[in-house]
């Protein structure tokens, strides 16, 4: 007996129909205030650089956003606060910054006093005027220079 509907007939329809999809942002959602970029190197040991950008829309009327950058372990506990590359002694915590591109550096030292990070997965979380951006990074002894 011959079946009029064969399995996979819908694949033929998809192949001959033009697809038009446009991604749109919800107009009621405000644009992001910042972009948190991938740290480099990643994986790393013992230090890494974390780039981020504060968008110019945030700095209207001479407003300078308040920025905090924290390193978290997998239990979401704060283990370190990076410093700005341009000002290595200034931690990125409740810091008023100008809009534009910035880089922070984590040298691996931790708030607990340890001078090297324990290998594993960490997260870095940027807060800009209350908006939160998070990414993942990996500490690996295999990433040591000359390893």
Residue 107 resides in a domain = yes
Distance in Å from the first CA to the final CA of the chain: 67
The pTM is what? Answer: 0.78
pLDDT in tens, the chain (147 residues): 555 555 555 444 445 555 565 556 677 788 899 999 999 999 999 999 999 999 999 999 999 999 999 999 999 999 999 999 998 889 999 999 999 999 999 999 999 999 999 999 999 999 999 999 999 999 999 877 554
Task: Note whether residue 41 is domain-resident.
Answer: yes
Distance of CA 92 to the CA centre of its chain: 15
- Domain holding 108, by residue range, is 34-143
Neighbours of 85 (CB within 10 A): 13
What's the pLDDT at 90?
94
SS (H, E, C) 81-138: CCEECCCCCCECCCEECCCEEEEEEECCCCCCCCCCCCCEEEEEEEEECCEEEEEEEE
Establish if 112 belongs to a structural domain: yes
């Amino acid at each position: 007996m011959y079946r009029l509907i064969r399995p996979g007939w819908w694949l033929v329809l998809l192949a001959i129909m033009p697809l038009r999809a446009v991604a749109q942002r919800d107009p009621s959602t405000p644009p992001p205030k910042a972009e948190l970029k991938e740290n480099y190197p990643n994986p790393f040991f013992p230090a890494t650089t974390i780039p981020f950008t504060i968008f110019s829309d945030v700095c209207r009327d001479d407003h300078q956003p308040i920025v905090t950058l924290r390193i978290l372990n997998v239990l979401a506990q704060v283990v370190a606060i990076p410093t700005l590359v341009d000002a290595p002694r200034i931690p990125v915590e409740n810091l008023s910054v100008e809009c534009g591109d910035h880089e922070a550096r984590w040298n691996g030292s931790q708030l607990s006093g340890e001078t090297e990070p324990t290998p594993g997965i960490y997260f870095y979380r940027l807060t800009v005027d209350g908006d939160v951006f998070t990414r993942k990074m990996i500490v690996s002894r295999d990433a040591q220079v000359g390893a």
